[in-house]
Every structure is written in C-alpha cells, then in structure tokens.
Amino acid sequence: MQEIKRIKRELVYQGSILDFYEDTMLLPNGKEEKWDFISHRMGAACVLAVKPDGKILMVRQYRNALERETLEVPAGKRDSVNEDTAICAQRELEEETGYHAGKLEKLLSLKSTVAFCDELIDVYLATDLVKIGEQHLDESEEIDIESWELKDLMDMCYAGKLQDAKTVAAIMAYAARQNQ
C-alpha cells in the first residue's frame, strides 16, 4: 500500500468534547483531498453490568444523532484526559443506574468510528452489583433503567435492533466469555 500523507490540519470548530478538523491529504497519485476528522479529547468508558440474577442492566435514552431512543450499556466520557477509565466506568454506572460494582474488570478497548473519529472507549464488566441509591443524572439527561437476559440482547444485536457499537461490542465480548 502506498503512503497517504496529511499535509495540513485546520481546526474548523472546537466543541466542549469534540474538535472538528479539515485535513488536507496528499494521495499516492499526487492529488490533494480534503478529509474530515473529529477528535474526541477525553475518551470514554462503558459498563456491561450483570446483576446477581444474571440479568444485564441497560439504559434507554434519547439520542439526538438518531432522533430516537436507544438501548445501551451505561457509558460516559472521562472527566479529564488523565482519569483512569475504570473510575469513569464506576462513576457512570452509579450515576446512570444507582448501582455500584463490587468487581470491575476490563473486557476490551475499541475505537468507535475509525473512518473519521479517534474516540477510544474502554469496555468493562461490572459484577457484584449493589444498589446504593437513585440515579444522579445531569440536568439534560433522562434515562430509564431496564434489565435484560443476555440471549435477548444478543438476538437484538443480530436482528439489527441494537446498533450502538460500544453496546454490541460489550454484549458480544461478555457472551464470548460466558462460552469459554
């Protein structure tokens, strides 16, 4: 494969979490092209939380990009670039569900959308859950908590009803682990 080289990166818009860039790329044929790039400055963590009865905690919330509600594993961005993603995962689990994980284990890391974004999400398995209180949501958040069987979630993934990359990856990683 011949080398593609970035010759210029221009910040187009700086948001609170994301930076949008226009990259000028030099292609192997000598032509220049403009490519979009989104930098996710913080990174994130998500949690597949398994209750003592074996059911998996899921959150249902509205997602503006899709203009509908989605069913997802609890997740959120790190508070700083130096925050350990395990701390982020525990915090998001507690904030979104009111549960604390007695055991938190990293399953995998993933890049959510490699074609145009560098977001990194660490996926954790949370077990030994204890209900410690109510949700602690941001003012703009409205999240419903649901409990699901692994088989039903896998069926929804295969049917295309669950399409969120971090959620599908978390479910499939957990399912593979259960079959070991």
How does pLDDT run across 118-140, given as a tens digit for each residue?
999 999 999 999 999 887 777 77
Q: Does residue 93 have a pLDDT over 90?
A: yes
Q: Is the pTM of this model over 0.75?
A: yes
- Residue 161, amino acid: K
Are 107 and 97 spatial neighbours (Cβ–Cβ below 8 Å)?
no
The 10s digit of each residue's pLDDT in 67-87 is 999 999 999 999 998 999 999
Give me the mean pLDDT over the 26-31 stretch. 95
CA distance 113 to 9: 19
Query: SS3 of 11, please?
Result: strand
Q: Does residue 50 have a pLDDT over 90?
A: yes
Residues 6 or more apart whose Cβ sits within 8 Å of residue 87: none
Residues 6 or more apart whose Cβ sits within 8 Å of residue 100: 90, 93, 94, 129, 130, 132
The 10s digit of each residue's pLDDT in 141-177 is 788 999 999 999 999 999 999 999 999 999 999 999 9
Catalytic positions, written as ranges:
139
- The domains located in the chain, with CATH, are 5-40 (no CATH), 44-178 (3.90.79.10)
For the chain, give the mean pLDDT: 94
